[in-house]
Amino acid sequence: MRGIETPIRKIRRQVFSEVAKIAFNSTSETLIDDIEAVPYKIVNEETERYREDMYRSRSIVRERVRLAMGMSLRPEDRMVHLTAGIEESNISEKYYEPPLMQVIPSACNACEEKGYEVSNMCMGCVAHPCREVCPVGAISVVKGKSYIDQTKCIKCGKCKSVCPYDAISKKERPCQKACGVNAIQSDKFGRALIDNDKCVSCGQCMVSCPFGAISDKSQVFQLCRALKEGGEIIAEIAPAFVGQFGSNITPRNIKAALQELGFSEVYEVALGADIGAIAEAHHYVEKVVTGELPFLLTSCCPAWSVLAKKYFPDLADQVSQELTPMVATARTIKQEHPDAKVVFIGPCASKKLEASRRTVRSDVDFVITFEELQGMFDAKEIDLTEYEAESSFHNATGAGRGYAVAGGVASAIEKCVREYYPDVEVKIEHAEGLADCKKILTLAKIGKKNGCLIEGMGCPGGCVAGAGTNIPIAKAQKELADFVKKSSKQLPAKELEEIELK
């Protein structure tokens, strides 16, 4: 479903837009009424009906509004008003409180966790290979067709693998399938439930649910409030932005549109990636090549680094201590603009929780995704094609911009090592998707990846495939490749290593 303009994406965008409008336009006297009106604006007799009745749809929208305003879902076992807690959220300093990813119970379809079922494609063949390979005798022939007794089935999948007509379908909960850390469970009603002790907030479950039952908290409301209040607010935008707001939208269009929203300046996060690539190159040579560390794990993907620290705590020392591009860029901004508020704009849901860490909180004040930013543009009726700044972003390198795709981080570091240490051999490994990340960390733990620089990306495809993106992954990868190729410099200048950010 990634990149497809589904009704779920449309509703999410409408919610972000309406919440942004409230933040920009509402007064203290009208705030409550304006919030209460949102579900009726989005779901009414004239709008397209996606569920069995509009009352359930409105109920779901109400919970989306709460999440979009940074509040938690309401409990199911007692009455809580839609705007309960608004006082704590109606401030620009409101920050994310875990859990970030939440299941909206009224939206969940209670999909079956896993199972196999014979479809009408069954030809009733004489061989019945499905029946012959079943290890528990769960398959019989009823009226000439294969039938699976679900009380006996152990869900091994052997029947499906041998069916010559592909007549046996595997039913699997989409959110559960997308979760690489097995954090999706079921509540007592069979609805999806996120185990927050396992979750690393990558957001892949959210973008994989065809019912839109999983959503994350947002700072759209608080950011719009801050922009309305004025003051110096600076955006740092991740390199994955290319193509996200239209294939014809240039960095100058983006910069001008952000300034129209109220941002005083715009930086490219690739600046922090350039700084990080040099630092990581030195770190690899000084620690891994010398044998002080068996291998080095990159740190720029928060879902990956949380996965490593949570599931492989004995490998925590191998996670690079260098600043992530988001934090390095933010600290650069704060050195030049000490009183400014910094907003990270990117494709990633887990960056929201990275920014809430105690060591990062003072550097990054807001985190929003490309999807949420589009909602803000909609609220202000900003057509990006009508805006163009006098200048683009700073001149980042192709190496830094390449961080946005899987393999790009390791590639940038490798190029820096070869440039600064031409006699050093670099061993590169990379994994994308949390399941593969777990596999490579397991291999590293038993000594199979010694001497390697290991890059991990929580989202298959890298940052361009993050949960907060707007376009298909393949298109985003192509747009990013063109952006990297057009960069006037491909490697960061060595002078960047002299920048003191810690």
Instruction: Say if CB 408 and CB 296 are below 8 A apart.
Output: no
CA triplet 20, 359, 284: central angle to 5 degrees? 115
| pLDDT score of 170 | 94
What is the signed CA dihedral for 174, 199, 321, 448, rounded to 10 degrees? Answer: -60
Q: Is the backbone of residue 382 left (phi > 0), alpha (psi -120 to 50) or beta? A: beta
Residue range 477-493: average pLDDT?
Answer: 92
Instruction: Say if CB 260 and CB 380 are below 8 A apart.
Output: yes
Share of the chain above pLDDT 70, in %: 96
Distances (CA, A) of 377 to 19, 20, 383, 393, 419: 12, 9, 8, 19, 42
CA gap 349, 129 in Å, rounded: 45
* Cβ count within 10 A of residue 278: 27
> What DSSP string runs through 393-429?
S----HHHHGGGSTTHHHHHHHHHHHHH-TT---EEE
| pLDDT score of 1 | 67
* 498 has pLDDT over 60: no
CA gap 44, 311 in Å, rounded: 46
Residue range 18-36: average pLDDT?
Answer: 96
| pLDDT score of 189 | 95
What is the signed CA dihedral for 367, 372, 377, 378, rounded to 10 degrees? Answer: -160
Of the pLDDT bands very low, low, confident and very high (cuts 50, 70, 90), residue 485 is: very high
* 175 has pLDDT over 90: yes
* 359 has pLDDT over 90: no
* 252 has pLDDT over 80: yes
341-346 and 366-369 as β-strands: parallel, antiparallel, unpaired?
parallel
| pLDDT score of 87 | 84
